[in-house]
């Protein structure tokens, strides 16, 4: 049956005080205040009373590392900035197994779903000899969970022996990387509206891949019409590395390898100069803002509003669960709001601007126009939150309360018209068993 999400307490849409009608996996109608649906007879509607719920478009996470759920608050990596943090964790991650990838993916997606997320991009770039099929495992797991994913086939080819940061045990030769990238695109990448699994190509960073691989990845991505992703301008150490290794600042290096284009989105994007922000905006390069990770690793604050004003889509990402150390996207929206107010006035960095990053901005980063808004014709990806905890008592504006009072868990989540979270629970998922098995593998990995 079609569904009427009726008279919500608050909704991130205009002229929809009466709610939404969902039919055939899409939003069929916005219902005005005091009105009833006209697109479907009321007798044919399943009605969800949303008078105690705040309704959002499904949140979109545009940068993550699912496997890092296995190394949260990892003792060897505590209290370190990015480069020493990576050096501490690379040898641990080199021991990842297929089962670890499956369970870390399942747990990360469950955690995201519980926070109102319906689409997630994961950046997996570690392919030790025991783990050649990591993306295949992720694709199958995501389909079982029912979330949309953009799985980025990451890569590292520049090991310590070649002047890079990662150990040799974690890098691959470039022919292997490109052959597997093409295989994954051909096997899994879906196009058009309502795609559930998409593939993007994602050399890890300037300090872990060669110039040749950056160029070859761009050529391959454009051959198949898939997007490109990498970390860039995250720390001052990275800038120094690029200047020493290539004689270029990170953005100039990006342009030199053919990546300053609108089929690219970047993770972090903190240390851009004003002129560089204008170049990014003119090219339409997307930026995924990762506020919690940037704070944990003392990396800096992204210039989000300036990037948006220049023309760049600015999305939101929880980043890896070893640098956040969580995968909760509604909490990340709050973090983006609060850290944004350290850079911008409160009347400019509003709660609505923060929501926009996690919805429309994130959709723009992924090159999608079918998700991220509550509008007729858009995919029925919807998150509903209740304001029934002590933290919300006395709250006025329901939308603002979600962020200012600290919402952390959705009540219902729909993806393409199907309920994937009901009454705060994921149907068919034994969460206790998942946590127990995941925790056991985490201990095995770290010890």
pLDDT digits (tens, 9 = 90+) for 10-57: 999 999 999 999 999 999 999 999 999 999 999 999 999 999 999 999
pLDDT at 389: 97
* In-domain check, residue 113: yes
Number of domains in the chain: 2
Assess contact for 39 and 21: CB atoms under 8 A.
Answer: yes
Mean per-residue pLDDT, 65-74: 97
* In-domain check, residue 130: yes
DSSP state of 228: E
Q: What is the CATH number of the domain that holds 399?
A: 2.30.40.10
- State the Cα–Cα distance between residues 106 and 112, nearest whole angstrom: 10
Q: pLDDT per residue over 159-168, tens digit each?
A: 888 877 788 8
* In-domain check, residue 125: yes
- State the Cα–Cα distance between residues 255 and 142, nearest whole angstrom: 33
Token couple for 51: 């008078």
* In-domain check, residue 437: no
- Say yes or no: 43 and 68 in one domain: no
pLDDT at 447: 87
DSSP count for the chain of H helices, then E strands: 15, 17
- Say yes or no: 128 and 36 in one domain: no
- Say yes or no: 80 and 140 in one domain: yes
DSSP state of 422: B
- Say yes or no: 149 and 204 in one domain: yes
- Say yes or no: 154 and 44 in one domain: no
Assess contact for 375 and 30: CB atoms under 8 A.
Answer: yes
Mean per-residue pLDDT, 175-180: 97
pLDDT at 167: 83
pLDDT at 102: 98
DSSP state of 71: G
Position 129 pLDDT exceeds 90? no
Q: Calculate Rg over the CA atoms of the chain.
A: 21
- Say yes or no: 156 and 243 in one domain: yes
User: Got the DSSP string for 143-189?
Assistant: HHHT-EEEEEEEE----GGGT-SS-GGG---HHHHHHHHHHHHHHH-
- Return the residue matching tokens 């994937």: 420
- State the Cα–Cα distance between residues 80 and 84, nearest whole angstrom: 6
**Measuring CA to CA, which residue among 157, 138, 283 is closest to residue 198?**
138
Average pLDDT score, the chain: 96
pLDDT band with cut points at 50, 70 and 90 for residue 158: confident
- Say yes or no: 127 and 10 in one domain: no
pLDDT at 165: 79
pLDDT at 168: 86
Mean per-residue pLDDT, 69-74: 97
pLDDT at 207: 85
Range of 410's domain? 2-57+379-421
Please report how many Cα atoms fall inside a 13 Å half-sphere around the Cα of residue 396, on the Cβ side. 0
Q: pLDDT per residue over 353-370, tens digit each?
A: 999 999 999 999 999 999
- Say yes or no: 16 and 130 in one domain: no
Position 85 pLDDT exceeds 80? yes
Q: What is the CATH number of the domain that holds 331?
A: 3.20.20.140
pLDDT band with cut points at 50, 70 and 90 for residue 100: very high
Token couple for 278: 């204008």
């Amino acid at each position: 049956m079609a569904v009427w999400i009726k008279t919500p307490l608050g909704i991130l849409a205009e002229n929809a005080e009466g709610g939404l009608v969902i039919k055939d996996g899409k939003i069929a109608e916005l219902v005005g205040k005091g009105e009833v649906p006209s697109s479907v007879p009321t007798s044919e509607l399943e009605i969800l009373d949303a008078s105690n719920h705040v309704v959002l478009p499904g949140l979109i996470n545009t940068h993550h590392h699912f496997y890092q759920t296995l190394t949260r608050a990892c003792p060897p990596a505590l209290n370190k900035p990015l480069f020493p943090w990576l050096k501490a964790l690379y040898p641990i991650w080199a021991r990842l197994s297929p089962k670890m990838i499956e369970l870390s993916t399942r747990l990360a997606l469950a955690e995201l779903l519980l926070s109102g997320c319906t689409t997630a991009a994961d950046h997996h770039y570690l392919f030790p000899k025991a783990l050649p099929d990591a993306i295949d495992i992720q694709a199958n797991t995501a389909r079982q969970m029912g979330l949309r994913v953009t799985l980025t086939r990451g890569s590292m080819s520049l090991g310590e022996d070649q002047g890079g940061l990662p150990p040799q045990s974690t890098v691959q030769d470039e022919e292997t990387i490109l052959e597997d990238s093409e295989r994954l695109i051909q096997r899994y990448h879906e196009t058009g509206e309502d795609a559930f699994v998409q593939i993007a190509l994602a050399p890890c960073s300037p300090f872990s891949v060669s110039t040749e691989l950056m160029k070859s990845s761009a050529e391959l991505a454009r051959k198949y019409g898939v997007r490109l992703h990498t970390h860039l301008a995250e720390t001052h150490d990275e800038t120094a590395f690029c200047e020493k290794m290539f004689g270029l600042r990170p953005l100039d290096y990006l342009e030199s390898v053919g990546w300053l284009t609108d089929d690219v989105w970047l993770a972090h994007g903190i240390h851009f100069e004003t002129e560089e922000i204008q170049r990014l905006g003119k090219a339409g390069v997307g930026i995924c803002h990762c506020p919690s990770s940037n704070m944990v690793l003392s990396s800096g604050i992204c210039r989000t509003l300036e990037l948006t004003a220049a023309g760049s889509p600015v999305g939101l990402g929880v980043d890896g669960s070893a640098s956040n150390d969580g995968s909760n996207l509604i909490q990340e929206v709050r973090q983006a709001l609060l850290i944004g107010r350290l850079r911008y006035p409160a009347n400019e960095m509003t709660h609505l601007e923060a929501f926009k990053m996690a919805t429309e901005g994130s959709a723009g980063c992924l090159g999608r126009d079918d998700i991220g808004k509550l509008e007729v014709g858009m995919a029925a990806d919807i998150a509903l939150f209740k304001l029934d905890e002590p933290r919300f008592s006395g709250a006025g504006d329901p939308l603002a309360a979600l962020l200012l009072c600290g919402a952390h868990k959705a009540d219902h989540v729909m993806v393409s018209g199907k309920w994937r979270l009901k009454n705060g629970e994921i149907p068919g998922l034994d969460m206790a068993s998942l946590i127990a098995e995941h925790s056991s593998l985490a201990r095995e990995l770290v010890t």
